[in-house]
């Protein structure tokens, strides 16, 4: 008979951390359900596998740089038209990533665009995929500096290597010409490699006035983002406005 301390050490050495930390509870459940030895082993390993997958997902979420409190469970679908709500519910399985589909969320501040983009990245992480999120201006600044100090790839890999990239405030904060070039590079290099979600207060046709005056580059950015892309519009009163009234 193996005592609890020995079982803990054995499980820990095999990196079976769920079994190591919850052995008494798991054994009690196996006994209570009168499981055979084979079924008990299967039960222990299944619990271990599920626990590891959950921890891996949390690690991916942490690396994605997203607000971990934003999920589909607390998203207000009333902000969407019935058509867009049906569309969003259909893409919650994140299969769109394998099809390299892109999304453009358009609407004023405080309508839930960031929440929905974050929820999609979060769900993708739980589905075994990788994601990354950043403000567009911040990403472009870092890439410009990376170019100047010869460290561009180490900066860019966060934006290039993930399955789904969420860019916030596209064309909301003005970009200079170097930053527009940086955005164009990332969009171009990601083309047909995973998905991009862009969140903006400005319709793409009006981006020309919000970025540096290189219309060729801006047009290239818009064309690539709109390729294989679905546009979802958010309407209504800002959450922040409602909170202010309270």
If asked whether residues 58 and 76 sit together in one domain, one would say no
Q: Containing domain of residue 167, as a range? A: 72-245
Token pair for 78? 């009333």
If asked whether residues 57 and 169 sit together in one domain, one would say no
- CB-based burial of residue 51 (10 Å sphere; 0-12 exposed, 13-18 middle, 19+ buried)? middle
If asked whether residues 49 and 136 sit together in one domain, one would say no
- CB-based burial of residue 136 (10 Å sphere; 0-12 exposed, 13-18 middle, 19+ buried)? buried
Rounded Cα distance, 18 and 48, in Å: 6
If asked whether residues 92 and 48 sit together in one domain, one would say no
State the pLDDT at residue 211: 83
- pLDDT, tens digit (0-9, with 9 covering 90-100), for 14-57: 899 999 999 999 999 999 999 999 999 999 999 999 999 999 99
If asked whether residues 175 and 192 sit together in one domain, one would say yes
Rounded Cα distance, 163 and 121, in Å: 9
If asked whether residues 113 and 168 sit together in one domain, one would say yes
Count other Cβ atoms within 10 Å, centred on residue 177: 13
If asked whether residues 155 and 58 sit together in one domain, one would say no
| Final residue in a domain of this structure, among 41, 63, 85 | 63
If asked whether residues 86 and 151 sit together in one domain, one would say yes
Output the domain CATH number for residue 209: 3.40.50.300
**Total domains, the chain:** 2
Nearest to 166 by CA among 158, 155, 176, 174: 158
| Final residue in a domain of this structure, among 29, 45, 63 | 63
Token pair for 72? 């589909």
If asked whether residues 129 and 167 sit together in one domain, one would say yes
47 Cβ contact partners less than 8 Å away, ≥ 6 residues apart: 18, 19, 22, 26
If asked whether residues 90 and 200 sit together in one domain, one would say yes
State the pLDDT at residue 209: 79
Alpha-carbon radius of gyration of the chain: 23
The pLDDT confidence band at residue 239, using thresholds 50, 70 and 90, is low
DSSP state of 175: B
Token pair for 76? 């207000």
| Final residue in a domain of this structure, among 46, 63, 80 | 63
Q: Is the pLDDT of residue 243 over 50?
A: no
If asked whether residues 32 and 134 sit together in one domain, one would say no
Token pair for 20? 């190591």
> What's the pTM?
0.86
Mean pLDDT of the chain: 91
Rounded Cα distance, 215 and 222, in Å: 10
Nearest to 168 by CA among 117, 239, 219, 225: 117
- pLDDT, tens digit (0-9, with 9 covering 90-100), for 72-118: 999 999 888 888 999 999 889 888 999 999 999 999 998 999 999 99
If asked whether residues 228 and 121 sit together in one domain, one would say yes
- Classified as helix, coil or strand, 176 is coil
């Amino acid at each position: 008979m193996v005592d609890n301390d020995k079982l803990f050490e054995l499980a820990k050495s095999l990196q079976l951390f769920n079994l190591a930390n919850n052995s008494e509870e798991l054994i009690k459940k196996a006994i209570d359900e009168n499981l055979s030895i084979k079924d008990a082993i299967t039960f222990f390993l299944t619990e271990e596998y599920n626990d590891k997958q959950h921890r891996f997902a949390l690690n991916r979420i942490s690396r994605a740089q997203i607000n971990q409190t934003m999920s589909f469970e607390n998203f207000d679908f009333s902000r969407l038209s019935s058509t867009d709500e049906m569309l969003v519910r259909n893409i919650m399985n994140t299969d769109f990533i394998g099809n390299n589909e892109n999304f453009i969320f358009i609407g004023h501040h405080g309508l839930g665009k960031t929440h929905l983009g974050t929820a999609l990245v979060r769900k993708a992480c739980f589905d075994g995929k990788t994601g990354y999120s950043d403000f567009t201006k911040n990403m472009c600044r870092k890439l410009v500096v990376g170019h100047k100090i010869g460290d561009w790839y180490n900066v860019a890999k966060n934006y290039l290597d993930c399955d789904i990239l969420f860019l916030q405030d596209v064309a909301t904060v003005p970009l200079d010409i170097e930053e527009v070039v940086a955005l164009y590079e990332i969009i171009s290099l990601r083309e047909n490699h995973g998905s991009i979600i862009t969140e903006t207060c400005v319709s793409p046709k009006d981006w020309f006035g919000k970025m540096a005056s290189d219309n060729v580059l801006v047009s290239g950015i818009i064309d690539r983002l709109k390729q294989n892309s679905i546009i979802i519009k958010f309407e209504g009163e800002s959450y922040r406005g409602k909170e202010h009234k309270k």
